[in-house]
Amino acid sequence: MFFTSDTHFNDPRILRIDKRPFANLLEHDEALIARWNETVGPRDEVFHLGDFARGDAETKAALLARLNGRKHLVTGNNDDAATIELPGWESVGAYREMTVDGRHLILCHYAFRTWNQMGKGSIDLHGHSHAKLKPMTRQFDVGVDAFPYRPVTLEEILASRQRRAKPRPTEA
């Protein structure tokens, strides 16, 4: 199972606004598609937390069809009706809660200041901020700007902030 957000396929603004390291939009889109497909297998599940792509329905459908996996959309502010209605999504919604590896996850495009079961250890996965928000405990931006332009597993997400345990001084 994988998570990602803010791919912004076919969106010329993304190169300028987020200074993504690609010479042009075609290079950007092809690199993200290649990295997605190197990471995700045909039977894997991917939760895309919004801002999938710009363009007409046919362009978006062709992009979605090129991506491996069973894809779920948690809608973002740039996901219009054409995106939401694409037949390639297994599910579409504005918000989702689920349990993965014994961890309760809250999925939304937007980062929350507080979320369901926060005090019980639940984890908030979001996009939208393009890796520009100061991290909060158990809150993670899963967008392609926060990770290496590809979907990531929950294990990778959690490991991204783990601190190495400091060795204890030896007792004399």
Q: Is residue 165 part of a domain?
A: no
Q: Is residue 66 part of a domain?
A: yes
Q: Is residue 172 part of a domain?
A: no
Q: Is residue 95 part of a domain?
A: yes
Task: With beta carbons less than 8 A apart as the criterion, state whether 119 and 104 touch.
Answer: no
Question: What average pLDDT does the structure give for the chain?
Answer: 93
Q: Is residue 171 part of a domain?
A: no
Q: Is residue 167 part of a domain?
A: no
Q: For the chain, how many structural domains are there in total?
A: 1
Q: In whole angstroms, how far apart are CA 32 and each of 25, 67, 107, 108, 124?
A: 11, 10, 22, 21, 24
User: Is the pLDDT confidence value at 169 over 90?
Assistant: no
| Residue-number span of the structural domain to which 83 is assigned | 2-159
User: Is the pLDDT confidence value at 167 over 90?
Assistant: no
Q: Global pTM?
A: 0.92
Q: Is residue 166 part of a domain?
A: no
Q: For residue 100, give the CATH number of its domain.
A: 3.60.21.10
Q: What is the pLDDT of residues 79-121, one digit of tens each?
A: 999 999 999 999 999 999 999 999 999 999 999 999 999 999 9
Q: What is the pLDDT of residues 67-78, one digit of tens each?
A: 999 999 999 999
Q: In whole angstroms, how far apart are CA 123 and each of 25, 41, 144?
A: 33, 25, 19
Q: What is the pLDDT of residues 112-150, one digit of tens each?
A: 999 999 999 999 999 999 989 988 999 999 999 999 899
Q: Is residue 17 part of a domain?
A: yes
